[in-house]
């Protein structure tokens, strides 16, 4: 009587007047599905009861899986159906949309799930952390395109759950660098594997142990160093500084004559001026020298690729000629460089020039030329507290004295010219200080020069364990021995 109930009653009336649970208990599920519309059946019967009393295969044959997924919760559906049948009758997209990703991975073998579901849809509906936990890395890389995988997955998690060799086989090296940090790559990959899979266009500079900030700074510095303008200036500065350095060392020589220093600085100034005047002819030479420093130096100037901005002028006016390349670099950079050097050299020559003008009469005394009384009056006026007007007469007499001494001295080694220090030494040896007092005072003023103090330059040579506890007297004595070492070497310590 129970089995024939759906044959004698309309299914809709039966479902309206009967409880779904009683109906499923007293009616066979197959007959119920044959005589009742499955949509009405799903509306009036609870999904869990329907799944408990009906075979999953029959239910999938008579019910559309879309309606089944809409009326049934994902968890009981996955518990009562075999996943192979469910995947055969259900579309993967609908299954992913209506079922929780974690439950889906718990009840389904991920290999079958990957075969029946699209990789992109699966990554959209399933969190990649759960996917990496339940799926093997090899299967994951086989069924998913690595670009999609890197877009949806964090680089660190991907490196933790996938073997390095498989990841390098299925992923392009460039994409892996874009989505993964260099430090993480070095932590999870062996350096030899990275060398095997590195592309030639991407050198190993991406795998240095430096911090990203240091690498960015180094890259920016590299782009500046390979510019033609930078190497051009390197060649120019090397040429200028080489002359300046040797001239400066000569000027710092102890006992160097002030007149000679004035001549050296003047010659250096003339050298820089000549470089400025002939800069147009030396541009090609500088460029060839700059390009020969390194193979990576750019062949053209930076402004070669810049767009030329045209200017509109009023009627009757001519346009301004715009310079580019070597011409612009020569005027805007080289000329400023040379002009700055010329200004600084003038500042340094000025003190030497003033001293040379004041003591010009000394060169006239030594060179047997006519004595300029104006220069003598100038030094008398400047050092009026130390020198008097008798200096003029002393100069005339001393000039004749030097002339007579040279004529009487027949030795071949006698120099034709005498330095100011030699003149002062001659006066002291011949005891002529009282005869030429003003000349002696002027020579002492001329030869006395002040040098910049080099802090602890000599104390640094006195190194022993007693230095911190040394008394001031002993330290001063050691300093004097070090400063006057040329005199100390001549002293004899033998007892007489």
pLDDT of residue 342: 93
Q: Which of 88-92, 173-177, 262-266 has the highest mean pLDDT?
A: 262-266
Nearest to 329 by CA among 293, 291, 295, 279: 279
pTM (2 d.p.): 0.46
Indicate the SS3 state at residue 353: helix
pLDDT of residue 173: 47
pLDDT of residue 466: 61
**Higher-scoring residue by pLDDT: 448, 476:** 476
**Has residue 181 got a pLDDT over 80?**
no
pLDDT of residue 243: 92
176 falls in which pLDDT band (50, 70, 90)? Answer: low
Q: What is the pLDDT of residues 364-402, one digit of tens each?
A: 777 666 777 888 888 888 888 888 888 888 888 888 888
pLDDT of residue 346: 92
Cβ neighbors of 27 (< 8 A, separation 6 or more) are 2, 3, 5, 6
168 falls in which pLDDT band (50, 70, 90)? Answer: very low
Q: What is the mean pLDDT of the chain?
A: 65
Distance between CA atoms of 29 and 15, rounded to whole angstroms? 14
User: C-alpha angle with apex 403: 394 to 421, nearest 5 degrees?
Assistant: 65
Q: Phi and psi for 357 in degrees, rounded to 5?
A: -70, -40
**Has residue 202 got a pLDDT over 50?**
no
Q: What is the pLDDT of residues 254-281, one digit of tens each?
A: 777 778 888 899 999 999 999 898 888 8
**Has residue 464 got a pLDDT over 70?**
no
Q: Which of 94-108, 254-268, 285-299, 336-350 has the highest mean pLDDT?
A: 336-350
Distance between CA atoms of 279 and 326, rounded to whole angstroms? 11
pLDDT of residue 90: 54
**Higher-scoring residue by pLDDT: 346, 285:** 346
Q: Which of 11-15, 196-200, 234-238 has the highest mean pLDDT?
A: 234-238
Is the CA virtual torsion 478, 479, 480, 484 positive or negative?
positive
Report the pLDDT averaged over residues 208-235. 77
pLDDT of residue 99: 53
3-state secondary structure 55-72: CHHHHHHHCCHHHHHHHC
Report the pLDDT averaged over residues 166-178. 47
pLDDT of residue 10: 54
Q: What is the pLDDT of residues 78-87, one digit of tens each?
A: 444 544 445 4
95 falls in which pLDDT band (50, 70, 90)? Answer: low
Report the pLDDT averaged over residues 166-176. 47
Report the pLDDT averaged over residues 321-340. 78
Q: Are 111 and 134 in contact (CB under 8 A)?
A: no
């Amino acid at each position: 009587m129970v089995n024939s109930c759906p044959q004698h009653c309309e299914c809709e009336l039966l479902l309206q007047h009967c409880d779904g649970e009683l109906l499923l208990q007293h009616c066979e599920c197959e007959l119920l599905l044959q005589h009742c519309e499955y949509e009405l059946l799903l509306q009036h019967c609870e999904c869990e009861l329907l799944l408990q009393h009906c075979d999953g295969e029959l239910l999938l044959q008579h019910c559309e899986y879309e309606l089944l997924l809409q009326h049934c919760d994902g968890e009981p559906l996955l518990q009562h159906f075999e996943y192979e049948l469910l995947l055969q009758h259900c579309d993967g997209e609908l299954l992913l949309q209506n079922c929780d990703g974690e439950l889906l991975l718990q009840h389904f073998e991920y290999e079958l799930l990957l075969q029946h579901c699209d990789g992109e849809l699966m990554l959209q509906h399933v969190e990649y952390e759960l996917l990496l936990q339940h799926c093997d890395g090899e299967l994951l890389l086989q069924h998913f395109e690595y670009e999609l995988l890197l877009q949806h997955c964090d680089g660190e998690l991907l490196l933790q759950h996938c073997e390095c060799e498989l990841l390098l086989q299925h992923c392009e090296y460039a994409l892996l660098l874009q989505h993964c940090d260099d430090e993480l790559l070095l932590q999870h990959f062996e350096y030899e594997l990275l060398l095997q899979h590195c592309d030639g266009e991407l050198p190993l500079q991406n795998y240095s142990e430096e911090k990203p900030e240091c690498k960015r700074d180094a890259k920016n510095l590299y782009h500046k160093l390979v510019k033609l303008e930078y190497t051009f200036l390197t060649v120019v500065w090397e040429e200028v500084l080489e002359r300046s350095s040797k001239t400066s060392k000569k000027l710092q020589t102890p006992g160097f004559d002030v007149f000679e220093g004035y001549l050296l600085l003047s010659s250096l100034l003339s050298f820089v001026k000549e470089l400025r005047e002939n800069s147009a002819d030396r541009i090609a030479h500088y460029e060839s020298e700059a390009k020969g420093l390194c193979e990576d130096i750019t062949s053209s100037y930076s402004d070669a690729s810049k767009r030329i901005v045209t200017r509109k002028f009023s009627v009757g006016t001519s346009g301004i000629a715009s310079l580019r390349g070597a011409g612009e670099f020569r005027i805007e950079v080289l000329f400023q460089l040379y002009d700055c050097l010329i200004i600084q050299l003038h500042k340094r020559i000025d003190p030497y020039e003033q001293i040379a003008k004041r003591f010009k009469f000394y060169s006239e005394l030594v060179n047997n030329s006519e004595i300029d009384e104006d220069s003598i009056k100038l030094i008398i006026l400047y050092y009026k507290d130390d020198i008097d007007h008798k200096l003029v007469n002393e100069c005339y007499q001393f000039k004749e004295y030097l002339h007579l001494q040279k004529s009487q001295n027949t030795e071949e080694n006698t120099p034709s010219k005498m330095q100011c220090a030699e003149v002062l030494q001659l006066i002291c040896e011949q005891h002529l200080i009282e005869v030429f007092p003003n000349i002696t005072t002027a020579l002492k003023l001329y030869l006395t020069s002040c040098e910049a103090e080099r802090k602890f330059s000599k104390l640094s040579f006195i190194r022993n364990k007693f230095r911190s506890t040394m008394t001031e007297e002993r330290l001063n004595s050691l300093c004097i021995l070090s400063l006057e070492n040329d005199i100390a070497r001549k002293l004899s310590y033998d007892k007489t």
